[in-house]
Structure 1
Amino acid sequence: MARWDQIFSLPVQNPTLPEFSSADLVWSKVEGYRDNIDRLALIPYTRVDDFVRGESSNKDCPTSFHVEARRRKAKEKTYKAKVDGILEYILYWCSFGPDDNRKGGSVRPCRSTYVPKKNNAGRPNSKRGCRCHFIVKRLIAEPTVALIIYNHDKHVDEKGLPCHGPQDKKAAGTRAMFAPYISEDLRLRVLSLLYVGVSVETIMQRHNESVEKQGGPSNRDDLLTHRYVRRLERSIRRSTYELDEDDDVSVSMWVESHQSHVFFYQGFSETEPFSLGIQTEWQLQQMIRFGNCRLLASDSRFGTNKLKYPIHSLVVFDSENKAIPVAWIIAPRVSSGDAYRWMRALCNRVHAKDPLWKVAGFIVDDPFADITTIRDVFQCPVLFSFWRIRHAWHKNIIKKCPDTETRVEISRHLGQAVDKICRKQGTATLFEGLMEHFVNSPEFVEYFRAVWSPRIGAWTSALQTLPLASQEICAAMELYHYQMKCRLLNERDSEAYQRTDWLVDKLGTKVHSYFWLDEYTGKDDFARYWREEWVSGLTSFRKALSIPDSDVVISGMSAKVTDKCDVNEVHVVWSPSSHFGVCSCSWAQKGYICQHMIKLAQVCRGNRTAKESVSLLQYYHALVDLLHLPPGDSLFRDYAASLAVSVEKQINALGNLPKSDASEGTVQKQVAGEVATDLDGELSKMPMSRDRGRACSENAEDAISGSEMEMDPSLCSTKAGADDVTSTVQNETDMATENHERCAKRLKFCSTRAREYVDE
């Protein structure tokens, strides 16, 4: 029992690294069985795979660990909570052992039937008698913790000599110099290229060219073989998404075989709706990398009209502000209870890798989203993106209104109505008057009243209560929506859309491969294989930044923008100062906001011919709320509290006199009561109440950061504005200083009285 008491007293170590090795842990030595001393460490059970990968990536001796033995108890049974009870036992061994197929090497008795091949050139590199291994135990008493026993951490054979890697002189010139298998990154790259249609010969040709440029092989990945790539291609070609005729059973079989890709699963039942959360290891890494202290956005209703179940995507934004999907949730409906469960499961999975991970803001595109759950799980402000409704309106205007003049008028009136609602100068009744005004466009009016009139109230409420996301975020979400449409909804047989197993399989294979290749720097080497599904590049917002002002000509209610690639092509934009403008380019004809409209909006705001954006207006309001929050509610209250603590320490120091415990306790209670009474009386006289300060803090919490806005410094640099700010700050500072002086005098008086009590 003393051994286990000592083990359970060890701290659970969770390094904040994607992958970690034994060098990143602090090992403890505990007496084991047969008077042996075990080298132990405790880590979260969910991070065992990270430890295995990190230990395999040893630079001094690259290798790979495989499961040599495993014992696992059934999950359905209940077990007595024994101190030394084991739920799971896993023995990981270096892949260069434990057998030794070299000349004169020893083979375990169970492998004595092994017959050497005639051409054994490759065999000495695979099994060389390495003794490095470690044991992982999952205990019944602590099922969330993994106990690692690592007594043999040296890559040596039975004689104690290096048996592979750079330290083994006999391994020079053979594959035993490197790891036995290619890295996961190269494997994922090859699979992605195969899924998108690149041939085996092209992959090997590009790979061999890169190895020749660097002067020969320097690691295991450089030894990629044609046979290995061909084997991967064959497995992809022979695979099928339909694992069973029953769609429900097929999905369950996929989940069982892809446990590492599933973070939440609720099977089909009469009481609970189906729900499946998919996140690969690469997506988890991107979520930690680009989601920490940054924005996380939601695309909640992709494929509603075509797929059996819509896809709810969570995306982060890379260095170029392009959207990267980090999780896909497939469910028929997302109620508040269901959303909480999968959000909590996703957040727990991220925190298992990085406990300090925290998102800066969560962007929703659905007014019916569970805002309370999002704030509760992610502990961040919630923003609202208007891109979905704008895209739907613009696409149907192009489709149902063939006349350009009618398109421009409807778009302009819709933009004005939305702008007034966001500025809290109008209500949903604005749309009713707009529909009556355009009775000459019956198709669009009928569409609007049938689809949007029943729910326009919820959208209006969201626009007025939640801060709006920036235009750059909207452009990134539109590009992601178009990429998903091209990469997922391109099947010749439309019946596949009604099967969930097809959707799950394609998301995890082809769609995932396209997004992985978007971040791959060497994708230009395969340019001749690019098709529409490979569409990538910068967002409309980033493209607009590269358009020079000289290419823009504004004339009344329209403008012309010269194309960057073809100077002879000119794009006409109507209502240039509005994001609800109409452009003649192909991207705008699909319903998306194009680079030309964004550029013209920026130019008009720079020329002061257009109003500032609603996002910027909300940002200014948040700054005003912060400006009117007096320092007395925060800074000087903290100062008073720290001074009170100092007084208490002095009282305790003076109270260490030879007196009875009863009298000493009475004195401390009296002093503490009078100090607290005086402090409360003094601080209550400050001009700003706690409720008002809390309200301002809540408004500031939902404010958008300045980096997400298109800010114009000249708006804050006028002399009148500077005088107002200076006078306001001066008045607040004088008032706070006066309050501070009174509070300090009162505290000094209280400390004097405290000393008198102690002296008595």
Structure 2
Amino acid sequence: MTLAAYQTNGTRYGITQKVFHQLFKECEGCHNSDVSVERSVGNSTARGDLSNNEGSSGSSSNENDDDISSKEDGDSESSTPKFNLFTQFGLTTRGRSSSPLKRGRRLSNNDYQAYKVPHDQLDAHIEDISKQYSVHLKVIKGLNERTCKSADGTVYQATEKVLACHRSGAPTRKRTIKRKRQASKKVGCKFRVRAVVPADTTLPVQIYLHGMHTNHTPGSAEDQRWLPVDERVQCIATDCLDAGLSIQKTVNIIQTALTSGTVGEVDRCRYRELPTRKELVCLQYERRRQNRLTDNDWLSTYQKLEEYQAQGKCLFFQKYDDKENRPFVAVLQTEWQQKMAERFSPNSAWSVDSTFGLNTFGFPLYAATVPNQNGEGIPIFFLLTSAENGPQEEIGLEAGFKAVFQKLQVRPNAIVIDKSLTEKKGIWNAVKDDPLSWEGGQQVKRRMLLCWFHTKKAWTENLLPRLPVDVAAQVYDRLCTVMMATTWEKYEEEKEQLIADFKPQSKVIVQYLKGWDCEEWLSMWVRAGRMFPHGNQDTTNLVEREWMTIKYTILDGKANHRVDRLLDALIGHPRNGNFDGGQTTVAFHEKKNNMRLPLASTPNKLPKQSVDAMNSLNYTSLRTSETDPSSSL
């Protein structure tokens, strides 16, 4: 073996030529007793020998190179053991033009061990090979038809199937720029199993096995990254996600099953125990796609709403028609929500508000909440409508509230809304023709009130920036005093006093109050217009809190969902009642309230004498527990 074969450089092998020569001489001296090293004989020095081995001794170099390759293949004819510097120092014999990304030498027929198995034992035998050699096999060549010839000269048709280690193949690098090479599953492992299956079942199956792993260690931590998850663990994850559990709860259940031994022992050389979060997210998405009725969002939404109607969970459904300017409207209410509405609506108030950004079509989602005896808001229905081409949203609100009032036999005393003309007109159109809201030509139910929080917010954003800084806070406090007037005479006095005390800013104040001191809004924001039992609900904070629950607890902070998926998040899938991302909104509140509130029957309508008696009470001394029979439950 000549030194020319070991000539190297620091760039390729991390060792300089000078150090290489020193190591070679040391190894030659250490193995002088049992190692024979061929050298060229001449009068030149050791330095000259190194240079002449490449030039003048070309034939000798070729012979030595062949000798090296034969030793690597294990076919050396020499009986004398020879020292291999490559093995000693971890060097390789790659040429100058070779690259670690290039494919290695293809396996020849001599690299395989061949034997025969019966047809019916083929699958079991391949499984035994996988267990024996700790390998996860994958098919790299499908069923290829070929013509084979047996030892006795018989020609027959057969099908060839090639299986390899899951880390076989050479990594590809499409980019030409120089950058750090990322980890790859493919490391060029040469483990192969070839099965030649004759078409004639009477003939045995030829198995060719090359059972040697290369470039990786089966069962190591690095090798575990590329193994598939065990099928039993995969089934547990699928069942948990189908039941509506979150990804974190699914991981906890899998870890518990592995720790308790429910799954059994997992072969770590062939399978992985725990799936990654990304794999669970992909599995959840695939299960979610399978739960869709159709891939088209509109068609799937229509089919779900029709199924909801058959189950009694959809009170009203109208398809979108752009030509006739007919809005899309869907009103959802479960049986439990109806019971809660009938139980807590008398002598109380609904909080109605809308939110955006929850669906891909940009439809506003409305909800109405009613407080229970603990002051917690309960959603009693959901309304989804389109908001395009003029008064579509107003028409959708009118149709939705009419459907809700037609289903319920009770009416709230008030409905608290934001200062939105669309909401006011839509709800008013549904209220004005309701016989249960009027007595003797006077409205006694469902009187609309403005949210005090949004009223003060409007003052802060629109009026105070137009006033001097030193008087802005004083004007704000005086406006709050005007708003809290209990009689209309008191309101007029406080308003006139406000204008007189801030005379330099009176023009700005009077101009701004024109939008509030009018017949359309005045009775909705002044306390004198809400001196009747309404459960002390003066803001829409309960429904605002409901949006926080839906957005960040139910939908996990993600926006722009498909409409059919949003419907599942609100009341559950029509076929299994679950939501693939977790529990539904209605189930969340039902579980929360059933832990505290035993369901009880509530009279559908209070006697007229009780209503008159409650209206005669002083507002400041009014308590829900004194007037509402259900509040004592």
Which one scores higher on RCO, CA 8 angstroms, separation ≥ 6? 2
TM over 0.5: no
User: Which one has a larger percent helix, Structure 1 or Structure 2?
Assistant: 1
TM-score, with normalisation over the residues of structure 2?
0.37
